[in-house]
Every structure is written in C-alpha cells, then in structure tokens.
Amino acid sequence: MSGRDAGPQLRRRVTVLGSTGSVGVNTLDLIDFARSRGEADVEIEALTANSNVALLAEQARKFRPRYVAIGDASKKEALIDALGGLDVEIGAGTEAVDEAGARDADWVMAAIVGAAGLKPTLNAAKRGAAIALANKECLVCAGDVVMDAIAKHGGALLPVDSEHNAIFQVFDFERPDRVSRLILTASGGPFRTWAKADMAKATPAQAVAHPNWSMGAKISVDSATMMNKGLELIEASHIFPIGHEKIEILVHPQSVIHSMVEYVDGSVLAQLGTPDMRIPIASTFAWPDRTPTPSARLDFAAVAQLTFEAPDAERFPSLRLAREAVQRGGVYPAALNAANEVAVASFLAGKLKFLDIAAVCEHVFNDVGRRNGPEKLSSLEEAMAADVEARRIAGDAIAAKAAA
C-alpha cells in the first residue's frame, strides 16, 4: 500500500497566533488546501486576532478551533455574539492571547506583528512546540531568551520569513563550519530607485505599495525603509550558527531568489520560488517532509533575467542601525525595534515624515547607548523593559518634532 493510499501523512494540532493577518490567512488557506486534497489531518487548537472580530469568527466557524482569543478586550462581547451557538472557548485581552501560545498544539504559527507576539510565542517554546516563526520581533527583541527556551524544552524553530526559510532549506546544520557566508536578498522596496529628496515627501500610501509582496502596512513600511532587512539580519544571527559579520544583504528586485548560502568551496546554494508566502509556510508546516501548495510555479522564461545590486546605506540608514544593534547585543535590538514600531505607526497616522522614521530610531539608539544594560538578555522582562523605555524615548522625540 502506498503512503498516499494509507491516508494523510501530515498530522498536526495547530495554533495560529495572529490568524487574521496576512500570514495567518495564508496559513489557514494552505491548511484548507491540504485538507481538501487529503494531504493532512489537522486539528485547530487555537486562533487569535488583535481586533478583527468578523474575520476571526468566520475562521472559527470554518476551522472549528477549541479556543479563540481576541486581543482587544473591549471586543469580547462582539466576538461572543458572532460565535453564538459554536462550541468554542472564548478569551479576550492580552493574557488570553498569551494563553493561546501555552495550549496543547504541536505546531504553532507565530504571526502576531510586533512585540505583542513575544509572550505567546515564548509560551509555545516552553512547551516544546515546533514554532513556525513569522514574527520578527521575537528574535529581534529577545532572541537569546527564545532560542534558549527552544533548546531547553526540545522544540524547533522553523523560520517563515521567505529569506530565512530559504537559508533554512539549504543550510548544512551538521557542518556549519563549512559555510562561509549567508546572503539575505532584498527587493529594495517601493523606493529602491527614488532620490532621497523624493523619499522625504513619500506618503503612507506610496510606502505600503510593495512591488512584489502582499503584506500588512507595518511590514510594508519596513520594506520601504529597509528596516525589515536589518531586522532579518538580527534574526539570522540567532537562527543560524554563524557570526553576524558573515551575513550580507543584497538587493534583488525580482524577489525570485529568496536568499543564498555560500560554502567554503565557493559553491552557492539558493532557494528560488514565486513571491507567495504559502511556499515558506508550507515548508514549515510539513517539515521535515513537503506538501503541495496552490502557489504559481516559477516560469524562468517569463522572469527572463535576475539582477542584483548593493544596498544604498546612505538612503537606507536602517541597515547601519541594525548592524550596530546586532554587534552591541543586549538591549539594543529590542530598543531599535520598539523605536521603529512607534515611528512607523506615527508615519502611517500622518504624524511623521518618511525619512524621520530612521531619524527617530537613531535618536533612541543613541539614547540607549548612554545607559548600562546586560550584554545578553536573560529574561523576557529585560527585553520588555527595554521595549517600554525605547517607546517612551521615541514618543518624546516624535512629539518634539511635531512641536518644532
């Protein structure tokens, strides 16, 4: 009897942290596809959202999770009404979302955007779950803490970001000393060819118009400033056993090569694919196996050519700040991330100019540099304290700019 005849080979109990965001929606779409083809036997343990009651309720009715949580506690009654008659446990508020990470799932999609994803993801790590990590901030803010928890409790970290996932697929973890460098590719975002004077006048609508990927507003702005690539540099330094000085960034506008690994013999292994997040999600969902996806296949003739260029550090200072943060370690990455979150939110709200995002981040970075902090974070509390302080400093800087 073939494996196909024997029924689904993938059996998963799944939690999706951030199920109504872009990655969460794609995750459930992939699960639905795998189920419909008989490729996977999936039980949904928990789904969480920040505030989108309507979509969370729709997902719950379709996928029948045991538990749903809404981060905005004021929307609990609305969620209860939307789920009337459905046999599901309902929670609301930050602690309810944190609880979702602690529930009994063997595969957890960590897709909550921002520092809010830290606690529930760490809870999953402490249970020894396989964590499909789409939240940059977990490793940026508290990479030492999260990776220590995964190692201690026997879990696994499966990177979902297309760049880290690409490296994960071709990195020789048994012989990391044979790797000479990692090359993180970047699309360059919507302002790759813009003059700095034009970038100064960029609007939120222009910043979120990513040329290749369909992403949320915050992540799209990070792509426009290239802070996303800086944060990915910090993440990669935790995921892969290689020094941060051996991690490089290369602009690749077509977003076909998602990243590369160079070995000591000069061989370069690359992972290629269409810009569809369901491909890296599927890689983590089926790991260490593989599963079909409905994604479009790569048409090399249609692509025709692949081009590359070095990033412009003068127009995109976020790359320099991120490099300095990973070199200094301790509270610096958490502070940089917090400052960026505050600055991007202000830009999207029309309260800050585009180029001022990096300026605010640098101000916070320099302020943190005048304080003493641990060289290596030992607890989530240390990371969160740095996050809170950096947000205060960033808020003051933004208010001062508005008053000027």
Q: What percent of the chain has pLDDT over 90?
A: 82
pLDDT computed for residue 8 by the predictor: 56
210 vs 159: which has the higher pLDDT: 159
pLDDT computed for residue 404 by the predictor: 76
pLDDT computed for residue 5 by the predictor: 46
Would you say the CATH fold of 164-275+295-403 matches that of 10-159?
A: no
Mean pLDDT of the chain: 92
pLDDT computed for residue 114 by the predictor: 78
CATH annotation of 10-159: 3.40.50.720
User: How many whole angstroms separate alpha carbon 222 and alpha carbon 328?
Assistant: 22
What single-letter amino acid sits at 198? Answer: D
- How is domain 164-275+295-403 classified at the CATH fold level? Rna Polymerase Sigma Factor; Chain: A (1.10.1740)
Which pTM does this prediction carry?
Answer: 0.89
Contact 398, 132 (CB under 8 A): no
Q: What percent of the chain has pLDDT over 70?
A: 96
pLDDT computed for residue 113 by the predictor: 83
pLDDT in tens, 166-195: 999 999 999 999 999 999 999 999 999 999
Mean per-residue pLDDT, 73-89: 96
DSSP state of 244: G
> What are the structure tokens assigned to 397, written together?
């800087």
pLDDT computed for residue 9 by the predictor: 73
pLDDT computed for residue 28 by the predictor: 98
User: How many whole angstroms separate alpha carbon 356 and alpha carbon 17?
Assistant: 31
> What are the structure tokens assigned to 285, written together?
């969902």
User: How many whole angstroms separate alpha carbon 168 and alpha carbon 259?
Assistant: 10
What single-letter amino acid sits at 245? Answer: E
Helices 118-126, 94-102: crossing angle, 10 deg rounding: 30
Domain ranges of the chain: 10-159, 164-275+295-403
Q: Is the pLDDT of residue 378 over 90?
A: no
What band does 217 get if pLDDT is binned at 50, 70 and 90? Answer: confident
H helices present in 171-275, as ranges? 196-199, 204-207, 217-225, 227-239
Q: Is the pLDDT of residue 403 over 90?
A: no
> What are the structure tokens assigned to 290, written together?
């593989």
Ordered strands of the 89-92 beta sheet: 89-92, 67-70, 40-49, 10-17, 107-110, 130-133, 156-159
User: How many whole angstroms separate alpha carbon 40 and alpha carbon 247?
Assistant: 36
User: How many whole angstroms separate alpha carbon 372 and alpha carbon 6?
Assistant: 59
Q: Strand 40-49 and strand 89-92: pairing?
A: unpaired
pLDDT computed for residue 6 by the predictor: 47
pLDDT in tens, 106-146: 999 999 987 789 999 999 999 999 999 998 889 999 999 99
Q: What one-character-per-residue DSSP string does 59-91 give?
A: HHHHH--SEEEES-GGGHHHHHHHTTT---EEE
DSSP state of 117: G
Ordered strands of the 268-272 beta sheet: 247-251, 179-186, 257-263, 268-272
- What separation, in Å, do the N-terminal and C-terminal C-alpha atoms of the chain show? 75
